[in-house]
Structure 1
Amino acid sequence: MIRTTYRGRAIKVLSARGKPFHVKLVINGRTINHAWQGDDSQALDWFRRIIDRIEASGGPGMVAMLIPGQYTEPHWWEPGAIDINPKGHATRPGGVCMCSSCVIGDPAGDNARFAPLPVDACRYCHQLRDGHRHDIHLDTHRYTEPTVAQRAGRQEAIRLGKAA
C-alpha cells in the first residue's frame, strides 16, 4: 500500500480484493481502477507519468485538445487550483475547457459555451453561495470560498472580457 502526494494530488495505491497481483488506484479520493494489473511501485510510476503528461499538455482546459480521454475531470488536478465548469470539466481559474463538448466551432475558444466563472463561485464547482446544491457532480460538498488563485484568475478573465 502506498499513500503519497504528487504535484498536489493525493494518490493511494491499495491491494485489490480477491485479485492477486492487482492494485486499486485512487487519486484525490476518486477510484480510477479497482483492479489494475501490476505492483505498488508500477502503479505509482504510472500515476506520475500521467500527471506529468497532462501538466505538460497545457494544464486544465487545454488537455482535452491534446490528450483524448477523461483528463478533463477535476480529480486529475490539484484541488483548489482549478475551476470546474457546469459540465464538470476542470479549467484554469478564469479559463474555459477546450474539449469538443464545451467549445462550439471555434478552436481558439472565442465561442466557448461556458464563460469564465463568477469571482465568488464555489471552490469545488460552478455554483454561487445562494442556491448552492450539495450533490453536484456526484460529489457532496458545501459552498466553499474560492482560493486566492481562483479569484485572481476569474477577475483577470472578467477584466479581459470587458476590454475586448
Structure 2
Amino acid sequence: MIRTTYRGRAIKVLAARGKPGHVKLVINGYTTNNAWQGDDAQALDWVRQIIDRIEDNGGPGMVAMLIPNQYTAAHWYEPGTVDVNPNGHATRPGSICMCSRCTTDEKSWFAPLPVDACRYCHQTPDNHRNDFDLMNPHSYKEPTDTQRAGRQAAIDDYNDTSYNEDDEAA
C-alpha cells in the first residue's frame, strides 16, 4: 500500500481484493481503477504520468481536446482549484470545458459560475441539492479563494463592454 500526494492530489495504491497481481487506485478519494494490473510502484508511476500529461496539456477544461475524455473528472485535479460544470467536467474557475460533449451541449456553456457556487459542483447555496451527484453526495461548501477569484475575473471579463478604438479600425 502506498499513500502519497503528487502535484496536490492525494493518491492511494491498495491491494485489489481477490485479484493477485492487481491494485486499486484512489485519487482524491475517488476509485479510478479497481483492478489495475501491476505492482504498487508501477501503479503510482502510471498515475504520476497521467497527472503530468494532464498538467502539460493545459489542465482543466483544455485537456479534453488533447487526451481522452476520461480525464475531465474533478478528482484528477488539485482540490479547490477547479469548477465543475453540469456535465461533471472540471474547468478552470470561471471557464468552460472544451471536450466534444460540452462544446455541443448548450447547458454546459454556463460560464461564468456565480461567485458563491459550491466548491464541488455548480449549485448555489440557495438551491443546493445534496443528491445532485449520486456518486459523491455532499453538502454546500464555500468556494476557495482561487475559485472565487477566477469566477469573479470571468464575470468582470464578460461584463466589460469597453473596447479599444484600434480594434474598431481593424
TM-score by length of 2: 0.89
**Secondary structure of the residue that 1:70 maps to in structure 2?**
helix
Q: Which runs of 5+ in 1 are unaligned?
A: 106-111
Q: How does 1:8-157 map to 2 (within 5 A)?
A: 8-104=8-104, 113-138=109-134, 139-157=136-154
Q: What's the offset of the Cα at 1:69? A: 2.8
Q: Deviations over 1:82-132 (max 9, x none)?
A: 000111110001111001111149xxxxxx722221101001100000110
Question: How many residue pairs are counted as aligned between the two chains?
Answer: 158
Which is higher, the Rg of structure 1 or of structure 2? Answer: 2
User: Is the CA contact 1:102–1:114 (under 8 Å) kept in the aligned structure 2?
Assistant: no
**Secondary structure of the residue that 2:3 maps to in structure 1?**
strand
Structure 1 or 2: more helix by fraction: 2
Aligned-residue CA RMSD (Å): 1.3
Q: Which runs of 5+ in 2 are unaligned?
A: 162-170
How many percent identity over aligned positions?
A: 72
Q: What's the offset of the Cα at 1:20? A: 1.1
What code does the residue aligned with 1:97 have?
C
Between stretches 90-99 and 132-141, larger displacement belongs to 132-141
Question: Equivalent residue for 2:158?
Answer: 161
